[in-house]
Chain A
Amino acid sequence: MTAVTALIILFPFAAAAAGLLATRLGLRDPRPRDARVRDLETGTERAVYRRAAWFAIAPGAVSAALTVWLAVSLAAGTGVSGGRFWSELFPGRAEGTLTPVETGSVPISLTLRADGLSVLAGILVVVVALAVQVYSVGYMRDEPRYPSYSAFVSLFTSAMLLVVYAGDLIVLYVGWEIMGLCSYLLIGHWWEDRANSRAAVKAFLVTRLGDVGFLFGIFTLGMAAGSFRIDDVLRADIPRGVLIAATLLLLAGVAGKSAQVPLQTWLPDAMAGPTPISALIHAATMVAAGIFVVARLYPAFLAAPPTLDVLGVVAAVGMLGAALAALAQDDLKRVLAYSTISQLAYMAAALAAGSDRAAMFHLVSHGAFKALLFLCAGLVIHHVGSNLISHMGGLRTALPVTFWTMTIGFAALAGLPPASGFFSKDAVISAIEHGAGPAQPFVYASALLTVGVTGAYAARAWLRTFFGPARIEPLAEPPPGVAHVFDGREAPPSMLWPAGVLAVPALLLGLAGVAAGAEVEWGAAVVGFAVALLGAGVVYALWRAAPEQDPARLLGPFRVPCERAFHVDAAYAALVARPVLRLARGVVRTDARVVDGAVRGSGRAALGLSGLVRLAQNGNAQLYVTGLLAGLVLIAVAAVVLT
C-alpha cells in the first residue's frame, strides 16, 4: 500500500516535470517570440497549451482515483486503531519506509504513512487540485505562460500530498517548503505587475519567518525522541519543558503557513495571484497544512497545554479580527482571504479546545466550500473584469450557475443548514464550548461573535455581488497579463463544471459527516445558527434600506481600521520593515565606506609607496649596475663574515 501512496505523490510530480520540460518537445515554432504570443488562437501555441492541459489533468485524475482506492481499502482494513478519531472511519493503516538515510546523528527515514487522517486530507487535496486544474484550463486560456503555471500547480499538489502522507518529520518539512516555493511562484505568476511580485516576496518572507521556527521545532522533537519518524516522536517520552518549547516553535511555522496572528498579513496580499491559485493554495490546502500538522502531531500538543492556550488566544484574536476585516473589504478576493484566516482560526481554536476531530471536519468542509467560493469568485471576476464588489451587482440573472453555486458556498461559510459549514462549525463551537484552559471563555465569546460577523460579511458579499442594480461597465483595456475581458456571458463549461462539482461536497459534506458519526449538538447549533442569521439579517436590513450603499457602513467609525486590517501592515512596516531597511542601508554604507575604503586605501597606499621605489628606476643602466654590484659586495661580505 506504500507503493500506492508513493504513486499518488509521484503522479503529480511527474506531471510537473513533464509540464516544465516536455510541453514544447517537438513543437518548435520557428517564428519570433512576440509573434507567437500574439497568435494564441491557432497553431503551435494552441497545441502546446492543449498538451500542457493534458499533462496537468490526466495525472491528477489518476492520483485522485488512487486516493479513492486507498480510502476504500483503508476503510475496509482492520489495522491498529490508534485511538484517534479517524480510526472509526478508516480503521486501516499503512506505513512503509522507502529507505533510511543515515545522517551521522538522528537518522532520517523516507517514510510514507497512510492512515485515516492522511486519507481525509488527501482526498480533499486531490479533488480540489483536480477541480482547479480543470478550471484553470478555461481561466488561463489566453495565458502565454500556462504550461509553467499548470506545472507549478502539479508540483504544489505533489508537495501537499507529500506533507499529507509523510511519516517522517523531515519528509514532511520537504513537502512543506516546496509548497511555500510553489505558493511564491504562483502568487507572482503575473510578475509584470510590480505589486504582484512584491506580494509574492512578502508571502515568501513571512512564511519563511515561521518556517525557521518550524524547522527548529522539528529538530527539537527529533533530538529529544532520537528519531524523526512521527510514530517514534509521538511514542517517545519527551520531558515536558522540551515538548512545550518544541510545540511552540512548531506553532510559529503553523502560524506562518496557516496565516494566523501575528503572521497573517501575507494572505490577503497573496490574492494577487490567479484566482484558481487562491482557491487551491490559499484557501483549501496549503493554508490548511498548518492545521493538518497540528492534528498530525496532536498527542504532542495535548501533552503541552501552554502551547494549546497560546494557540487558543491566537485563534480567538485572529478569527474575530479577520472576520471584521472581511466585512469592510471591497475586493471580493480579499473578503474571501480574510474569511479564510478567520475560518482557519476556527480550526485552530478547535484544536486548542482539544478536538482535532472538529478541526479536521471543519478543515475538509472549509476546503470544499472555500475552494468553491474562490472558483465562483473567479467566474464573477472573469465576467465583470474587476475584483471590486462595488463594480458588481445584479449578476443573478447574468450568471445563474455561478449564482447558485456561490450561494451554496456562502451558505456553508455562514453556517446555514443544510450546507456543510453548518455541521462542521457546530462541531467546532461545541468543542470550544466544552474546552478547558484559562482562555476558554474568551475564545468562546470570540467564536460566537465571529459567527455573527461571518454571517454579516457573507450576506454582504452575496447581496452586493448578485443583487441590486447592475454596475458593470466594460473596461477599456485589460492590463497586460490579466485575462479580464467583459463578454457578458457565463464562463466556459471547463470553468463551470469544477464549480458545480465542488458545490456538491460543499452542500452535502456535513450530512455525510453526520452519517459517518459526527454528532450534532443541537444547543450549540441553534445558538450558532441564530447568531449567524442575526448578522446576516442586520446586513440584509441595511442593504434593503439602501441597496446602492455598502452595508459595511454599519461599522461606523471602525470601518477604516477594519478595511486596513487594523493597520497591522502599517505597524509591521514601521516596526520591522523600515528599521530593517535602515539597517540594510547602514550596512551598504559601511560596506562602501569602510570595507571598500580599506581595499581602495590599501591600493592607494601601495601606489604611493611604489612611487617612491619608482624613483630608483630612472632609466640609467649604470645606476642599476651599481646597485647590482653593491648587492654582490654585500653578499660577499656577508658570506665572509658569517662563515
Chain B
Amino acid sequence: MHVVYPVVVSALLFSIGVYGVLARRNAILVLMSVELMLNAVNLNLVAFDVWLGDRLHGGQVLTLFVSVIAAAEVGLGLAIVLAVFRTRRTVDVDRLRALAEVPPASGPGSERPAGSAVQPADGEGAP
C-alpha cells in the first residue's frame, strides 16, 4: 500500500478534528475532536514507521505512548467537563466566558486584577 493513502486519511482525520475543536459547541464533542487529531497523528506515526522500515519501530512505540496519554487526557477532560456541568448546568463552550475580562466598571483607572473576574453565572460576562 502506498504511503499516500494513510497520509491523506490522517490529514482528513486531523482536519475534521481541527474543525471540531474550533467549531463544535458541546465540550464533549470538542474532546472527541481532540481525540480525532491525536489519532490522525497516530496513523501518521504507524504509516511512516512501516514505510521507512524502521528496525526499532519507533513510530509504533510512540503510538502506544500517545494512546496512553490520550486516555489520561480524556479522563482529565471528562472530569473537567463534569465539574463544569455541575457548576454551570451546561457544557456549551460558547457560554463559558469566564476567561473574558470584565470591562472597567466606571471610567479609566479603576482596574481590577484579572483573576477576580469569576463569572457569577454563565454567559453574563460576555461583552
Q: Are both chains from one complex?
A: yes
Q: Which A residues fall within an 8 A CB radius of B? A: 603-604, 607, 611, 614-615, 617-622, 624-626, 629
Q: How far is the CA of A128 from the CA of B127 in the complex (A)?
A: 83
From A603, A621, A624, residue with most partner B Cβ within 10 Å: A621
Q: For B98, what are the chain A residues with a Cβ–Cβ distance below 8 Å?
A: 619
**Nearest Cβ on chain B to A603's Cβ, whole angstroms:** 7
CA of A621 to CA of B98, assembled, Å: 10
Q: What are 8 sample pairs from A and B whose C-beta atoms fall under 8 A apart?
A: A611-B103, A614-B101, A618-B97, A618-B126, A619-B98, A620-B93, A620-B94, A626-B22
Complex-state Cα separation, A614 to B127, whole angstroms: 10
Cα separation A603 to B111 with both chains bound (whole Å): 14
Asked whether, in the complex, the Cβ of B22 is within 8 Å of the Cβ of A625, the reply is yes
A626 to B108, CA, bound (A): 30
- Alpha-carbon separation in the docked complex, A617 to B117 (Å): 13
Beyond known contacts A617-B101, A624-B99: 8 more, CB 8 A cutoff: A615-B127, A618-B97, A619-B98, A619-B125, A620-B94, A622-B23, A622-B94, A626-B22
For residue B21, CB closer than 8 A to chain A, the reply is yes
Quick check: B97 and A619 within 8 Å, CB to CB? yes
Q: A604-B108, A607-B108 are in contact. Are A618 and B100 (CB under 8 A)?
A: yes
Chain B residues lying within 8 Å of A624, measured Cβ to Cβ, are 99
Contact in complex: B21, A625 (CB < 8 Å) = yes
Distance to closest chain A CB from B126 (angstroms): 6
B82 lies within 8 A of chain A by Cβ: no
A608: nearest chain-B partner, CB-CB: B108
* Majority-rule SS of B interface residues: loop
Q: Is there a chain A Cβ closer than 8 Å to B70's Cβ?
A: no
Contact yes or no, B108 A621, CB < 8 A = no
A603 CA to B109 CA, complexed, in Å: 10
Residues of A within 8 A of B101 (CB): 614, 617
Q: Which residues of A are found within 8 Å of B16, using beta-carbon distances?
A: none
Task: Tell whether B96 is near chain A: CB-to-CB under 8 Å.
Answer: yes
Q: Which parts of B73-127 form the interface with A (CB within 8 Å)?
A: 93-94, 96-101, 103, 108, 125-127
**A-binding residues in B (CB < 8 A):** 18, 21-23, 30, 93-94, 96-101, 103, 108, 125-127
Q: Tell me if A618 and B22 are in contact (CB < 8 A).
A: no
Q: How far is the CA of A624 from the CA of B22 in the complex (A)?
A: 9
Greatest chain B CB density within 10 A among A615, A622, A625 is at A622
Cβ contact within 8 Å between A619 and B99: yes
Give the complex CA separation of A621 and B99 in angstroms: 8
Q: Which 8 A-B pairs have the closest CB atoms?
A: A619-B100, A619-B97, A619-B99, A607-B108, A626-B22, A618-B100, A618-B127, A622-B22
Q: Is the CB of A620 within 8 A of B97?
A: yes
User: What B residues does A629 contact at CB under 8 A?
Assistant: 18, 22
Q: How far is the CB of B14 from chain A (nearest CB, A)?
A: 12
- Please determine whether A622 and B21 come into contact, CB atoms closer than 8 angstroms: yes
What's the nearest-Cβ distance from chain B to residue A605, in Å?
A: 11
Q: How far is the CB of A167 from chain B (nearest CB, A)?
A: 62
**Once the chains are docked, how many angstroms separate the CA of A629 from the CA of B18?**
9
How near does chain A come to B92, taking the closest CB pair, in angstroms? Answer: 11
Q: Which residues of B contact A618 (CB under 8 A)?
A: 97, 100, 126-127
A624–B100 CA distance with the chains assembled, in angstroms: 11
CB distance from B110 to the nearest CB of A (A): 11
Q: Which B-chain residue is minimally distant from A603 (CB atoms)?
A: B108
Residue numbers in A under 8 Å from B99 (CB-CB): 617, 619-621, 624
Residues of B within 8 A of A622 (CB): 21-23, 30, 93-94
Q: How many Å from the CB of B34 to the closest CB on chain A?
A: 11
Q: How far is the CB of A623 from chain B (nearest CB, A)?
A: 9
Residues of B within 8 A of A611 (CB): 103
Decide if B108 touches A619 in the complex (CB within 8 Å).
no
B97 (CB) vs chain A CBs: closest residue = A619
Per the bound structure, the CA–CA distance linking A624 and B93 in Å amounts to 12
- For B21, the closest partner residue in chain A by CB is A625
**Distance in Å from the Cβ of B29 to the closest Cβ of chain A?**
12
A626 surroundings in chain B (CB, below 8 A): 22
Tell me the nearest residue of chain B to A607, going by C-beta. B108
Nearest chain A CB to B45 CB, angstrom units: 20
The distance from the CB of B105 to the nearest CB of chain A, in whole angstroms, is 14
Residues of chain A contacted by B18 (CB below 8 angstroms) = 629
Output the least CB separation between B20 and chain A (Å): 10
Pick from A603, A614, A620, A626 the residue with the most CB of B within 10 Å: A620
In the complex, which of the residues A603, A604, A619 contacts B96, with contact meaning CB atoms closer than 8 Å?
A: A619
Complex Cα distance, B20 from A625, in Å, reads: 12
CB distance from B53 to the nearest CB of A (A): 28
Give complex CA distance A620, B94 in Å: 6
A residues in contact with B30, CB < 8 Å: 622
- CA–CA, A84 to B18, complex, Å? 105
B65 to A: closest C-beta gap in Å: 24
A599 to chain B, nearest CB (A): 13
Task: List residues of chain A with CB within 8 A of the CB of B127.
Answer: 614-615, 618
Q: Which of A603, A604, A607, A617 contacts B100 (CB 8 A)?
A: A617
Q: Which residues of A contact B97 (CB under 8 A)?
A: 618-620
Q: Report the Cα distance A620→B96, complex, angstroms.
A: 7
| Distance, CA A292 to CA B99, complexed state (A) | 81
B22 CB contacts on chain A under 8 angstroms? 622, 625-626, 629
In the bound complex, CA of A579 to CA of B126 (Å)? 58
Chain A residues whose CB sits within 8 angstroms of the CB of B125 once the complex forms? 619
Q: For B93, what are the chain A residues with a Cβ–Cβ distance below 8 Å?
A: 620-622
The distance in angstroms between the C-alpha atoms of A624 and B96, with both chains bound, is: 13
Q: How far is the CA of A629 from the CA of B22 in the complex (A)?
A: 10
Name the B residues within 8 Å of A604 (CB-CB).
108
The distance from the CB of B18 to the nearest CB of chain A, in whole angstroms, is 7
Complex alpha-carbon distance, A436 and B36, angstroms: 114
Closest A residue to B125 by CB, please name it: A619
B38 to chain A, nearest CB (A): 15
Query: How far does the alpha carbon of A83 sit from the alpha carbon of B21 in the complex, in Å?
Result: 106
A626 to B101: give the CA distance in the assembly, Å: 19
Measured CB to CB, the nearest residue on chain A to B99 is: A619
- By a CB distance below 8 angstroms, the chain A residues around B126 are 618-619
Residues of B within 8 A of A614 (CB): 101, 103, 127
A372 → chain B closest CB, angstroms = 67
